[in-house]
Amino acid sequence: MKIEGKVVMITGAVRGIGRGLVDAFLKAGANRVYAASRNLEAYSHPDKRVIPLQLDVTNQESIQSAVKMAGDTQILVNNAGVLEFGNLLEADRDSFRRNLEVNLWGNLDMDRAFVPVLARNGEAAVVNILTLLSMVSAPGMSAYNASKAAAWSLGMSLRATLASQSIPVFNVFPGAVDTDMLAGVEMTKTPPAIVAAAIVEGLKAGTEDIFPDPMSQTVYDGWKKDHKAVEKQFASM
C-alpha cells in the first residue's frame, strides 16, 4: 500500500517499537502521525506532522476521545502491549487478566472504534504488532503467550471481516527487540528502528504477515518446515 500522504495512528508510540514506527512512517512520507500514549509528560517530537495524543487502550472513554481527535486516521497501528513474566502454574491470575486487557481487549476495542473511521477515509489498513510468541510459546511468559496468540486469531478474524471492504489487516511477528519490554533479558535483540523500518517496508510491499527481523525470519522458516521442532526448541528456553 501507499504510505505517502497517509494519516497514521500508533498506540504506545513514545518508546520502543512504537517510537521507531513514528519515524519510519514519517520517513515514508506520512502526512500526519498520531503518537498515542498513556503518558505524554516527557514527550515531544521535532517533526510538526506528529500529533501527541493521550490514550489508554483499556479505557473506553479514552478510546472515544481519541476517535474524536483522530477522525482522519487511515492506518491504525495496534502496537501498545505489556509483558508480564511467569509460568502457567504459578503466575498470578490477575497477571493473565492484565496481559489480556491490553494485548487482546485493547486491540479489539481499538478495532471496533476505528474501523468506521478508516472506512470513510479512503485507502486504509490495520496493523497489529504481535510476536513470534503468538505462534509458539515460551514457558516463562504464559500470560503474554496466551494474549498474543488470541490477538493473532483476532487479527485473522478482522482480516476476514474487512475483506469485503478492501481494508487489509497486517499481522507483524517480531522476534526479540531491544526495548524496555525485554530489558534485563540477555539475548540477541534487533534495534527497534530496524524493526520499524522493516514493518513499513512490509506494508508498502503488501505483505500481510510480516517477519521484520532476522530472528523472526529464521524461526518462521523453521516453523513452516517443522512447527513441532520449533515448539520443542521454545519449550526448552
Ligand X SMILES: NC(=O)c1ccc[n+]([C@@H]2O[C@H](COP(=O)([O-])OP(=O)(O)OC[C@H]3O[C@@H](n4cnc5c(N)ncnc54)[C@H](OP(=O)(O)O)[C@@H]3O)[C@@H](O)[C@H]2O)c1
Task: Find the catalytic residue in 2, 27, 48, 144.
Answer: 144
Please, is 59 exposed, middle or buried when counting C-beta atoms within 10 Å of its C-beta (0-12, 13-18, 19+)? middle
- Is there a catalytic annotation at residue 148? yes
Spatial CB neighbours of 205, under 8 Å, sequence gap ≥ 6: none
Interatomic CA distance for residues 144 and 81, integer angstroms: 9
**Interface with ligand X (CB under 6 A), residue from 7, 16, 100, 124:** 16
| Residue 60 within binding range of ligand X, rule CB under 6 A | no
First to last CA, the chain: 37
Closest to ligand X by CB, 123 or 209? 209
| Residue 82 within binding range of ligand X, rule CB under 6 A | yes
Closest to ligand X by CB, 39 or 165? 39
Contact 204, 28 (CB under 8 A): yes
Contact mark string toward ligand X, 159..178, x via CB under 6 A: ---------------x-xx-
Closest to ligand X by CB, 81 or 119? 81
- Is there a catalytic annotation at residue 43? no
Beta-strand runs (E) in 24-175: 32-37, 50-54, 75-78, 125-129, 169-172
Interatomic CA distance for residues 136 and 235, integer angstroms: 9
Nearest approach, Cβ of residue 178 and ligand X (Å): 7
Interatomic CA distance for residues 134 and 120, integer angstroms: 31
Nearest approach, Cβ of residue 100 and ligand X (Å): 12
Q: Which stretch binds ligand X (CB under 6 A): 25-33, 49-57, 158-166, 196-204?
A: 49-57
Contact mark string toward ligand X, 124..143, x via CB under 6 A: -----x-x------------
Nearest approach, Cβ of residue 208 and ligand X (Å): 17
Count of other CB atoms within 10 angstroms of residue 229: 11
Interatomic CA distance for residues 42 and 56, integer angstroms: 17
CA 90 to chain centre: 27
**Interface with ligand X (CB under 6 A), residue from 76, 81, 200, 219:** 81
Give the catalytic positions in this structure.
144, 148
Binding site for ligand X (CB under 6 A): 11-12, 14-18, 37-39, 55-58, 79-82, 102, 129, 131, 174, 176-177, 179-182
